[in-house]
Structure 1
């Protein structure tokens, strides 16, 4: 564990996401996971199944952040082109990886499934990559450089993410404090803005809701420093009470 700031981006790959056919379920999971382990997710992009778009996005994001997570496009069909695009972005060859071939052959044999060329496409891994275990359907993800390539199917993505996390550098964990108010944002906006200036190193955001016909606002404070976060929350509570808002 390091006190350094460790950053990440997520690149979601798939025409089905952009068309609206398939709702994305992975970004929120990865974001919450990163927050828990001490990685700050700072950008999310979505691209279709187009090699040039994937290569461009991969090269931009892997340069900008400590890690880049990708999801989608590593299955057996012709439009699963993520592995090839990653290899192109990293300027390395790609071929059937003997480790992945062995895993898939054993998996298929146990289930009486034919190891067709289409299914064996899932064993194609860029040279130099580490495999990421898939305890659901065996076909691995991979880690190459600072790029972490995960499946798009949520259940599979999640077990891959669990496996690869132990190999990643993490930073100070982001802590959160929340104040719930049964008032609209406008009632507290000036106090909240003044408080943010008083504590510039504490990230602050307000989130209104209208559940069950009742207006409410959550004031959320975030910091890696527990003592600073506690002071900021306590003083914000004091300011709200002084105005009769809490």
Structure 2
């Protein structure tokens, strides 16, 4: 079933997918710093990241991935592959995914030309590549290094450099319509994860609207489990947290609210 929701309906879940594009991420040469920022930023405005993918700089893979996820989610955010080099193929791939042409965007060309005049750099043919935008797309401002990102349909295409991606993310936020904001509650106790696993599974089945995860921890010579519950209904979330506390007490352990000290 598609996760796409009605953006205009109050309190509905608004979903997103993040696609990280780049061989350098897959090879381990570059450590991703973008996914966490995007997910946290979107959560604050009521857009929930439900999936993230890391894909190579291969045109058909980009095309197929974008065409799949843009029909499943309200928004898609990509990072990487819009620079001046030969392997920066994201813009061309996105154009192909939407079945449109690509060319030099007048506003993007003017912005970059002025930028290089002011900085004394040469506006080379390679740098002009950063002004190539799919037909029908709107620009995403880049106050930092000027080379823009772009939006086409529900797909937002941004740079892979974290500082640049972040200013682009800030620039496009007012285009997004959020829904219910995801909240979380944590209950921790000095009890083994395996001890409560079966009962915790039953609790999850009882309250499918709330995501429940268990995470073991070690603090010196002590160990325990943190139960993290996530959902958009605060009242229901509090109820599930209370049930989790009662469940833990049933095994003779004393739960505490939040992460372990």
1:123/1:139 contact within 8 Å kept: yes
In structure 1, what is the Cα distance between the partners aligned to 2:100 and 2:50? 27
Asked if the contact 2:189/2:248 (under 8 Å) is kept, the reply is no
Larger deviation: 33-42 or 222-231? 33-42
Gaps of 5+ in 2: 1-7, 255-261
1: CA distance, partners of 2:44 / 2:222: 31
Task: Give CA-to-partner distance per residue, 1:148-167, whole Å, 9 cap, x none.
Answer: 10100011111111211210
2:249 corresponds to 1:241: yes
Tell me the secondary structure at the aligned position of residue 41 of structure 2. helix
Picking from 41, 45, 54, the partner of 1:37 is 45
1:144 aligns with 152
Q: Which residue of 2 aligns with 1:160?
A: 168
Mapped to 2, the partners of 1:138 and 1:121 lie a distance apart of 13
Distance 1:213 1:50, change over 3 A: farther
Please state how far the C-alpha of 1:36 moved relative to its aligned partner: 2.0
The corresponding residue for 1:186 is 194
1:26 paired to 2:34: yes
Please give the per-residue CA displacement for 1:31-67, whole angstroms capped at 9, x wherever unaligned.
2222222112122122211111111111111111111
Distance 2:247 2:192 in 1: 17
* Cα RMSD, aligned residues only: 1.5
Q: Give SS of 1:155's match.
A: helix
Whole-Å Cα distance in 2 between the matches of residues 161 and 46 of structure 1?
Answer: 19
Query: Is 1:76 matched up with 2:84?
Result: yes
Is the CA contact (8 Å cut-off) linking 1:83 and 1:124 kept in structure 2?
A: yes
> Aligned residue for 2:4?
none
Q: Please give the alpha-carbon distance, in whole angstroms, between the structure 2 residues aligned to 1:213 and 1:166.
A: 49
Distance in 1, matches of 2:50 and 2:233, equals: 19
Q: 1:27 & 1:13 partners in 2: Cα distance?
A: 12
Contact 1:133–1:140, Cα closer than 8 Å, also in 2: yes
Work out the CA distance in 2 between the residues paired with 1:135 and 1:210: 44
C-alpha distance in 1 between matches for 2:209 and 2:115 = 51
Shift of 1:136: 1.3
Q: Is the 8 A contact 1:191 1:240 kept in 2?
A: no
Structure 1 CA distance for aligned equivalents of residues 220 and 88 of structure 2: 44
Matched position secondary structure for 1:215: strand
Distance, in Å, in 2 between the alignment partners of 1:200 and 1:52 is: 37
Q: Aligned-pair distance for 1:3? A: 1.6
- Residue of structure 1 aligned with 2:207, choices 199, 215, 220: 199
Greater Cα offset, 5-14 or 196-205: 196-205
> Where is the helix percentage greater, Structure 1 or Structure 2?
1
- TM-score (normalizing by structure 2): 0.89
Instruction: State whether residues 14 and 47 of structure 1, in contact with CA within 8 Å, keep that contact through their aligned partners in structure 2.
Output: yes
- TM normalised by structure 1 equals 0.95
CA shift for structure 1 position 213: 5.2
Question: Is residue 2:132 matched to residue 1:132?
Answer: no
C-alpha distance in 1 between matches for 2:92 and 2:218? 46
